[in-house]
Structure 1
Amino acid sequence: MQELKRTDWLPSRRHLLTHAAALSLMAAPLTDAMAQFRVEVSGAGVTQIPISAAAFRDNSLVNQDMAAIVRADLERSGQFKFIEPLPVRLDETSRPELNAWREKGTDALLTGSVTRLADGRYDVRFRLWDSVRGQDLGGLSYPVGATDLRYAAHKIADYVYEKLTGDKGVFATRIAYVTKSGTQYRLLVADSDGENSRVSLTSPEPIISPSWSPDSATLAYVSFETRKPSIYSINVGTGKTRLLANFRGSNSAPSWSPDGRQLVVTLSISGNAQIYAMDANGGQPRRLTNSGSIDTEPVFSADGRSIFFVSDRGGSPQVYRMGANGENPQRLTFDGNYNISPAPSPDGRWLAFISRVNGAFRLHVMDLNGGKVTALSDTSADESPSFAPNSKLIVYATRDRGQEALMTSTVDGRVKTRLAGAQGDIREPDWGPFVR
């Protein structure tokens, strides 16, 4: 199987299509990427809800602009258009003059406040108004510590999103990704907007392929600590790691079953890379594919009945789908001679993947109901797509304006957000599930 581009950093899931290729990438340099992200939104959705967010009363008590965080979250979804608020002071107890807001072009209005509590925490309160119908859409209170103020803002954005669209918001979820600083590789977990990143694991050897468990408590990943790819898990809360697979040859590309009981992985026990299932706690693997080709990058469908994977059994890397026990494999991608990194959406409707087009690696999405394929990006080095748990956004890594970056895209490709560090490179994003 011909190797992929972007080999100037570290081995990613697609680079583990062969073990030898992965090992050749281990020593490449990378600058630090620990600075906070900035959000840049481009494009416009077909239908956007006009909304205003008034400054929260007493927001000066804290170092986070609550209304601005909510605004950035909602803009990133592509479904909201922000209208500058009227110059009036409001909080969640106010009864705003909604006619004035409606005349300004605002369909919805968010108000709120921040109050310091006796125990040192902050009570973040808000209220949402429908200025067209003149209705109070409710509000909540989040008592949080200073380190959880952004989380409270993301929860508010989730509330607003669900009330106004009918779909569940994903702003309070997390993403995992990998970076490198000096000689140290890092596995990081951040908020869905890329902010508030926290180091979960540091290693002098490459870390790749992070994969969230369905309960959002654990990440499976691949490490080269034994000088070859082996699969580990880490509890994100405690930092406790566990070796899951260190069989002869390469152990790579872990992905969880929807019930969290199994992992599907790529092992080269037999000589060439094949797909196996194994208990999530480790143990002996069960072989699912039996071909003379390279089969890799397995991932379960949301209902657990199917597994998507990549194989070169037809002469070039293509995306296939088979039953959960390896039965009846069928090819899904036919356009182009290089299609990899399948990522099914949680609602079962879409399949994101990377396709090589005229030498450029670009994000594509397939409608699994009809097979229609749409290119979502115009960049040339996309990799590692992962759906948000509500299936409305896709996060992926790419090179944008000369820098490595994380991007999110709406499923129609109309609105993209760049989550870019001030310096350095970031790779291998995986969007976590809803927190249970």
Structure 2
Amino acid sequence: MNSVAKFGLKALVTSCLFASIGAAHAQLTIDISGVGSNLYPIAIANFKNENASAQQIAAVIRADLARSGRFSNIDPGATPVGETDSVDLGSWKARGANAFVSGSVTPTANGQFDVRFRLYDTATQQSLGGLSLVSPASGLRMSAHKVADYIYEKLMGVRGVFATRLSYVVKSGGRYQLQISDSDGQNANIALSSPEPIISPVWSPNGTKVAYVSFEKKKPVVYVHDLPTGRRTVVANQKGDNSAPAWAPDGQHLAVALSQDGNTQIYMVNADGSGLHRLSNGSTIDTEPTFSPDGRAVYFTSDRGGAPQIYKMSASGERSGGGAQRVTFKGSYNTSPKVSPDGKLLAYISQGGGGFKLYVQDLSTGEVNALTDTNHDESPSFAANGQYILYATRSGGRGVLAAVSTDGRIKQILSVRGGEVREPSWGPFMQ
């Protein structure tokens, strides 16, 4: 029995349960169902001249910060304030804002836009710096996300992820679509459209490629898709199932799960499809590989102990690395491992109480915490800063994406109106 059938790797099943949606480029909408207990009050003035551009920069920044669950927006009024304008910071402090942002959007001679801003601490009445970002009109939303990232890092001490991207799969009519969007679900574009299911997308470390499994050949085949060019490379099309691609941190190799030798096992392959060699050496099923951030270890799901659990082996292979070590012990059915970017946390899906829930385990202490109150969770994916986990679940009777902070306090639902969306993957930092 292959890994899809035995472990309930629900990607195949849920791909067949998608409901149709009307718009090919349907945008994700986000509802925040939880916020942090200590919100940072900030006022972001309307940027000067932003009405002359195609994008309301300040509105995107406010929405980003509110969506993080760590900021509250103080009403800035309607008057635009430029980054060089004189600002009475004391008055903003009196209105409850601990920080203030001003900025401008200026068309350039070559048809682009120069976005500038300045961030102030109202208590110390000091500038915390700013940036100048030049982009075409089509890049103004991304410029706004970069401004929000700057603010988040300066005030929270952690790099923001607003300028990262998401990938996910929706179904429109009879076609499956791999879509790429901004982190807020907007600016969605179709990378691939197929009459057959597309599952398990995962981003390359540099954010220019996505590996995934497509059934267009009437069987699961692993591809690497170069997003800027649209060029695709077959990475694994062996006999049997080819599934569960995972990028190594070097961006040159992938781990995949193949059943070419009978039972599904973990293999390593070059990103161009060459150099295939076996890593795991179980007599049962080993699948769902994912790398540690340093690339030295591979975590994976195996039923070698009788039921699916998470194990860890050397990235050089189980035989050369001294065998695999079991990692999860709480719960009788654990799958879909993902390691946080700092290597400290393991996210996974555990079956219990009649459903599947997202859990996170501290890899140093073994402490385990449930992060969700839903029962159909799958496909966890860490944000690049390790602060949030994106996953698929069901809400209101339909498939949605959700994000939760690693402490479980901040929750978001990302949905497509009138349809279902699955198979999420959160992209890396963009340089």
Give the TM bin, normalised by the shorter chain. Answer: over 0.9
| Partners of 1:44 and 1:167 in 2: CA distance | 17
Q: Corresponding residue for 2:152?
A: 161
| Partners of 1:104 and 1:81 in 2: CA distance | 13
Contact 1:18 1:273 in 2 (8 A): no
Percent identity over the alignment?
A: 49
| Partners of 2:67 and 2:14 in 1: CA distance | 34
Unaligned runs of 5+ in 2: none
Q: Is the aligned partner of 1:261 residue 2:252?
A: yes
Q: Please, what TM-score do these two structures have when normalized by structure 2? A: 0.93
Q: Corresponding residue for 2:422?
A: 427
Kindly tell me the number of residue pairs found equivalent between the two proteins: 425
**Shift in CA distance, 322/151, structure 1 to aligned 2, threshold 3 Å:** same
Where 1:210 maps in the other structure, the secondary structure is strand
Q: Which piece of structure 1 moves more, 60-69 or 176-185?
A: 60-69
| Partners of 2:9 and 2:382 in 1: CA distance | 30
Letter in 1 for 2:112: R
Letter in 1 for 2:262: G
Q: Which piece of structure 1 moves more, 201-210 or 280-289?
A: 280-289
| Partners of 2:427 and 2:414 in 1: CA distance | 16
Q: Is the aligned partner of 1:212 residue 2:207?
A: no
Q: Is the aligned partner of 1:233 residue 2:228?
A: no
Give 1:209 shift: 0.8
Q: Is the aligned partner of 1:386 residue 2:377?
A: no
Q: Which piece of structure 1 moves more, 291-300 or 280-289?
A: 280-289
Give 1:302 shift: 0.4
Q: Corresponding residue for 2:330?
A: 335
Q: Is the aligned partner of 1:184 residue 2:179?
A: no
Q: Is the aligned partner of 1:69 residue 2:60?
A: yes
5 Å matches for 1:64-213? 64-86=55-77, 88-213=79-204
Letter in 1 for 2:111: G
| Partners of 2:13 and 2:336 in 1: CA distance | 21
| Partners of 1:26 and 1:345 in 2: CA distance | 26
**Shift in CA distance, 18/397, structure 1 to aligned 2, threshold 3 Å:** closer
Give 1:28 shift: 4.8
Give 1:219 shift: 0.9
| Partners of 1:162 and 1:372 in 2: CA distance | 28
| Partners of 2:424 and 2:373 in 1: CA distance | 19
Q: Corresponding residue for 2:355?
A: 360
Where 1:43 maps in the other structure, the secondary structure is coil
Give 1:140 shift: 1.7
Deviating beyond 3 angstroms after TM superposition, the runs of 4 or more aligned structure 1 residues are 14-29, 86-89
Q: Corresponding residue for 1:369?
A: 364
**Shift in CA distance, 52/16, structure 1 to aligned 2, threshold 3 Å:** farther
Q: Which piece of structure 1 moves more, 220-229 or 19-28?
A: 19-28
What do residues 347-375 of structure 1 show as CA deviations (whole Å, max 9, x unaligned)?
11111111112112111111111111111
| Partners of 2:166 and 2:178 in 1: CA distance | 11
Unaligned runs of 5+ in 1: 4-13
Contact 2:18 2:421 in 1 (8 A): no
| Partners of 2:65 and 2:366 in 1: CA distance | 30
Give 1:162 shift: 1.3
| Partners of 1:80 and 1:90 in 2: CA distance | 21
Give 1:27 shift: 5.4
Letter in 2 for 1:417: Q
Contact 2:12 2:197 in 1 (8 A): no
Give 1:321 shift: 1.3
What do residues 76-96 of structure 1 show as CA deviations (whole Å, max 9, x unaligned)?
223222222256542211121
Give 1:305 shift: 1.2
What do residues 316-367 of structure 1 show as CA deviations (whole Å, max 9, x unaligned)?
1111111212233111222222211111011111111111121121111111
What do residues 5-63 of structure 1 show as CA deviations (whole Å, max 9, x unaligned)?
xxxxxxxxx84657999877775552126322222212222433211111122222234
Where 2:177 maps in the other structure, the secondary structure is strand
Quote the RMSD (CA, aligned, Å).
2.1
Where 2:85 maps in the other structure, the secondary structure is coil
Where 2:129 maps in the other structure, the secondary structure is coil
